[in-house]
Structure 1
């Protein structure tokens, strides 16, 4: 049976700016890794049919063993759809010898303009069974919080 995980967040930035952070290499490296991880993009091809390879490193691998190695998750992400400024669809495959992490997970980033800001909802479908649902939803929420902090800090006027 297919599993769906989701999380949403209101972000104080316009939809075009949010969309830009979803398709910019440096931005993704800054905000996508959830708390307790850092990320580095190895390969980058920002177009439909292109994608990226991200190495996520656990800051405390003892309490958070990785899917690829003791300290890492390596994920190949394809850009299945780029629809500015409304939606980005990723197809993610984890590099792992453990079959419970196999398969292609689809992550759809919906961007909705609201009177209060931009609502970003992430829906992950076909989540591999080895990924704990509560931990995954917390990870998505953490990435969204990082995205909000990243974009909202960028909008602050500088002193000077």
Structure 2
């Protein structure tokens, strides 16, 4: 089974970090990786969301949904604040290499000087390049750290 992980220490307590996942305006501001913008079409902090991600510079071959977009349909299957968040992610696409459900598990481990945030992605569709995916997770974690550490999260 394909598994990808990324971690980052964030200098804020787990409760503060977890809030960045439940406020839709804040969430859409940090979750898109560098080079993308996001728009939420639906958002329920307990049940999930539907997000359209737009590439600033689309990749060769285009995005998963259109030439310049990806769409993520996310079900939150476990919301255990401020410790764990488990999501099941589908990518609506005409390309069968993006079929299947990916599981994203976010954990928030308290540390003396903040929180260790870990993302683990399992069962990513074959059409998602592993190195690009890990890079996107690292980018989102960096943006989460900036949002939480610099006061955009109350």
TM-score range, shorter chain: over 0.9
Q: Equivalent residues in 2 for 1:87-106 (5 A)?
A: 87-106=84-103
Matches within 5 A, 1:128-143: 128-143=125-140
Runs ≥4 residues deviating over 2 A: 62-65
Gaps of 5+ in 1: 156-160
Gaps of 5+ in 2: none
C-alpha displacement of 1:116 = 2.4
Within the alignment, does 1:45 sit opposite 2:30 as a pair?
no
Cα distance, 1:60 vs structure 2:
0.9
Structure 2 vs 1, CA of residues 14 and 126 (structure 1 numbering), >3 Å: closer, same or farther?
same
- What is the TM-score of this pair, normalised by structure 2? 0.95
Displacement of 1:63 after TM fit? 4.9
Q: Partners in 2 of 1:102 and 1:151 — Cα distance? A: 33
1:11 alignment partner in structure 2: 10
Cα RMSD for the two superposed structures:
1.5
SS in 2 for 1:130: coil
User: Is residue 12–residue 113 contact of structure 2 (8 Å, CA) maintained in 1?
Assistant: no
Q: Report the TM-score, using the length of structure 1 for normalisation.
A: 0.91
Q: How many residue pairs were aligned? A: 153
| Cα pair 1:58 1:64 within 8 Å, conserved | no
The structure with the larger Rg is 1
- Compared with structure 1, are the counterparts of its residues 84 and 60 closer, same or farther at alpha carbon in structure 2 (3 Å cutoff)? same
Number of the residue aligned with 1:110: 107
